[in-house]
A and B are shown apart, each in its own frame.
Chain A
Amino acid sequence: MEEKHAKGVGLTANRFLTFYLQDEIYGVNIFDVKEIIAMMKTTPVPKTPHFIKGVMNLRGNIIPVVDMRIKFDMPEIEPQMYTSIVIITIDGKNIGFIVDKVEEVVNVDDENISLPPEFGSNVDTKFIKNMAKQKNKVIMILDLVALFGEDELGVVQALSKTA
């Protein structure tokens, strides 16, 4: 069971939380997800990039919230009934991601996971770690460290400096 996939993805790592942004399904590793909460009011922080929706109060702790739609250059929409915030732990820090709708937790077999294509999605492929085939759907597995790892954080800070 512990046998590793050629690309280093272990079996146990193949559980994903899937969610919708517009019509596309994305997934994040379930181990990175801390919790899912309903959309709540955020406080905008001045002089930060547009995709940073602001900060919110997660039971006494203040965490940043990112609007995934804006980050992925999709049209911004008002919160809907299913709009949720997925709280994800990156490098020990919690960040909230606003998504349209949380779908389910899926197990994907190793053979159904492949490298991302070079094109074919709205999203810059550097954020996509893998493609997972599940039944008749294709899930884009996000690489959160690439999304909001140190490099990106550096960019955020630089942006807020020049803004």
Chain B
Amino acid sequence: MSKEKLKQIFIEEATDIIEKMDIDILNYEESPSDKALLNEIFRGVHTLKGSANAFNFSRLGEFVHHFEDVLDFFRSSDVMPSASHVDLFLESVNLIKETLDFEISERSGQPEGYEACLNQIQQIISTLKTGQEQPPVTLTCNDLAQEFGNEIFDEPTFEKPDEASFLERLEAEEELYKIILTLDSDIYLRGFDHFLFFKNLSHVGRILSSFWSPIDACTLETFDSEQNYFKRVEIFYASQNSQAQIEEVFDFLEPQEYRIDAVPRPIVTQPIHNGVPLESLEAVLNAPVVKEETKEAKTSVAAPKTFLKIDAQKLDELFDSIGELVIAQNYLGENGKIKAVRDAEVTKTIENLSKITKLIQNRVMSLRMIPIRDTFEKMKRVVRDSSKKVGKPIHLILQGEDTEIDKTMVEALSDPLIHIIRNSIDHGIETDVEERRKAGKSDEGIVTLSAYHRGGNIIIEVKDDGRGINKEKVYQKALERGLIKPEDELSEAQIYNLIMQPGFSTADVISDLSGRGVGLDVVRTAIESVRGKVEIASVPNQGSTFLIILPLTLAIIDGMIVRSSEKIFIIPTLCIIESFRPAEEEVHVAGSKEEFVQLRSELLPIVRLNRVLELDAQKPNAWESTLVCIENQKGKFALLVDELVGRQQVVIKTLGEFFAKTEGVSGGAVMGNGEVALILNVEELY
């Protein structure tokens, strides 16, 4: 492998490490007694140091070296870092990031603050080291907590069993498996029996040891013989059989109830650490379960889950091929000649094929999906920094971090989220604590970041409990800026949406954080570029909510298929509000050209699709056609089409550079019959 290539790998790795460090330090700030976390940070820095020196990144190496010293000190002493220390840690991570950029681009000099930060670090080391001469004698609760890495029984934790010793006990051709059962309490009612299960398991291999979590154990008085109290069982298991054969024993368990991981044989000698298997029930019930968090334990019990790094390009190609497969499958399914064959075998095969195609499609789709956790974790830093800057204490709540989202969307999501969060902290949360108290709110501003699924979309919600958006103020400002006219009738949502117009800012004082008036329209543009939508809701004195609505994936949209002038078009369902056929008296003509339709209390302009796209000059009566009510940036309008054909999920394809600037069309989709239908760009229709 060439040096260049190695360097590339280093840069990738370093970026990952730095990113993780950021998050780890923030988490560490919350639980400063968590030595394991500190160790984790230390290890990251250590790795960085080694590689930096190997590539002659001397500035980075130097900096990281001192940073490592500080961490090492805290790691191996009982002194807990103060808040200012943590600040310095974060500052250091920033500098590491910048220094790395300098090194990569081979720029000379040092990033701003390099020397200052380094001096601070060295200062800390010297003061700490002298203070260390008298080690703290008093044993406090904190110290105990540290010693044991005590985490209360809020989740089933196991002492880390000694995998190394199990590996030693393996016979030739045997593999070590770690089996984790996560069972329900009603499992006996479903015919499961721990005893029988163990017996069956021992037919295909040897059970080396098992660990039974006593967390759910009950007292004798409340004991119910039909309930399972051992919900979590960890088994170390040696077998010559393949994983598939072992899995047969698990047939009557649901997939989420068990996990089998192969434990690879070690390449290097495993460090020895203590962990006593809990073998008798008494021992279990009498002894508190203690999670040993020595650093050795952490390294050796790294989950044997393996990951592959795959070129995103290859994944896209696979995705394309699946698209073709789906189309071919649709073609087969819809083919009249095949349908005419009345043969059970043929029908069965086609149905089978359809099932498999769906399965493959879903699996490939899931390859691109990653949990939104990392993006959310990054926001912790944003909240922390902004909160310090404006001097408002903020508590960030994260919800639904496991919600999965298309990888390409994750990248597009980060900046808008930062913007919205900063906006909420800066404008949303009250500056005056008294104001909050009066409204019966806690002193700490609360920002909630949550992600969830709703009706085929992914929703990301940023909610603050601040003063809410002042509707009047927004309206006045928009008038002043000429964004709206006095005669415009606006709904509440439309007024809120004004704050995302370019050049809009309601902050009376332009702050460092946001309020330059370039913030929120960037948010909307970014979200729209991934085919999403932003909605704002607000209640005075209770706070505001920003909803980011995203399609499940970028590759597939839910589309409404319409017909106009004998041609088929697709409208993304996300922008459609409703479709209707108006009564003759509801259609009004203004002057000789402009047409309007009355929909309940609203008057919507009618846009004829065939006219906008210059398909033909026909002009059927609006009351004999179908109107589709569509909302875009500028507002609502009624699109006139001949008829609705149906609703369908379509795979989006670009039309290529050739048609990049074609107005009104954003892409194409291959339909079941192999023909291409165009996807309309509703922003450009009206």
Q: Does A147 contact B (CB under 8 A)?
A: no
B108-116, B239-247, B659-667 - the one binding chain A:
B659-667
Q: Does A43 contact B (CB under 8 A)?
A: yes
CB-contact partner of A160 in B320, B657, B661, under 8 A: B661
Q: Is the pair B670, A163 in contact by a Cβ cutoff of 8 Å? A: no
Give B610 Cβ to nearest chain A Cβ, in Å. 9
Q: Is the pair B668, A43 in contact by a Cβ cutoff of 8 Å? A: yes
Q: Is the pair A64, B323 in contact by a Cβ cutoff of 8 Å? A: no
Q: Is the pair A55, B661 in contact by a Cβ cutoff of 8 Å? A: no
A29-37, A44-52, A72-80, A113-121 - the one binding chain B:
A44-52
In the complex, A47→B661 CA distance in Å? Answer: 10
CB-contact partner of A46 in B656, B658, B664, B675, under 8 A: B664
Q: Does A56 contact B (CB under 8 A)?
A: yes
User: What residue of chain A has the Cβ atom nearest to residue B323's Cβ?
Assistant: A60
In the complex, A60→B615 CA distance in Å? Answer: 26
CB-contact partner of A60 in B320, B661, B664, B678, under 8 A: B320
Q: Which interface residue of A43, A48, A163 has the most chain B CB atoms within 10 A?
A: A43
Given A60-B320, A60-B670, A163-B614, A43 and B677 touching (CB < 8 A)? yes
Q: Is the pair B655, A47 in contact by a Cβ cutoff of 8 Å? A: no
Q: Is the pair A64, B655 in contact by a Cβ cutoff of 8 Å? A: yes
In the complex, A56→B675 CA distance in Å? Answer: 7
Q: Is the pair B665, A46 in contact by a Cβ cutoff of 8 Å? A: yes
In the complex, A44→B658 CA distance in Å? Answer: 13
User: What residue of chain A has the Cβ atom nearest to residue B653's Cβ?
Assistant: A62
Q: Is the pair B675, A43 in contact by a Cβ cutoff of 8 Å? A: yes
Q: Does B324 contact A (CB under 8 A)?
A: yes
Q: Is the pair A93, B657 in contact by a Cβ cutoff of 8 Å? A: yes
Give B532 Cβ to nearest chain A Cβ, in Å. 23
Q: Is the pair B656, A160 in contact by a Cβ cutoff of 8 Å? A: no
CB-contact partner of A47 in B656, B663, B670, B677, under 8 A: B663
Count of chain A to chain B residue pairs whose CB atoms are closer than 8 Å in the complex: 79
User: What residue of chain A has the Cβ atom nearest to residue B662's Cβ?
Assistant: A160
Q: Does B312 contact A (CB under 8 A)?
A: no
Q: Is the pair B662, A46 in contact by a Cβ cutoff of 8 Å? A: yes
CB-contact partner of A62 in B321, B567, B656, B657, under 8 A: B656
Given A46-B615, A93-B656, A157 and B675 touching (CB < 8 A)? no
- List the B side residues contacting A161 at CB < 8 Å: 661, 663
Given A60-B320, A64-B655, A161-B661, A46 and B676 touching (CB < 8 A)? no
Q: Which interface residue of A43, A46, A47, A56 has the most chain B CB atoms within 10 A?
A: A46
User: What residue of chain B has the Cβ atom nearest to residue A93's Cβ?
Assistant: B656
Cβ < 8 Å to B, chain A residues 145-163: 153, 156-157, 160-161, 163
Cβ < 8 Å to B, chain A residues 53-89: 54-57, 59-64
Give B83 Cβ to nearest chain A Cβ, in Å. 55
In the complex, A28→B678 CA distance in Å? Answer: 31
In the complex, A44→B662 CA distance in Å? Answer: 12
- List the A side residues contacting B567 at CB < 8 Å: 43-44
A residues with CB within 8 A of B: 41-48, 52, 54-57, 59-64, 93, 95, 153, 156-157, 160-161, 163
A-B contact pairs, 18 of them (CB 8 A): A42-B676, A43-B668, A45-B655, A45-B662, A46-B662, A46-B678, A47-B662, A47-B663, A48-B662, A55-B655, A55-B659, A57-B670, A60-B320, A60-B323, A60-B324, A93-B658, A160-B659, A160-B662
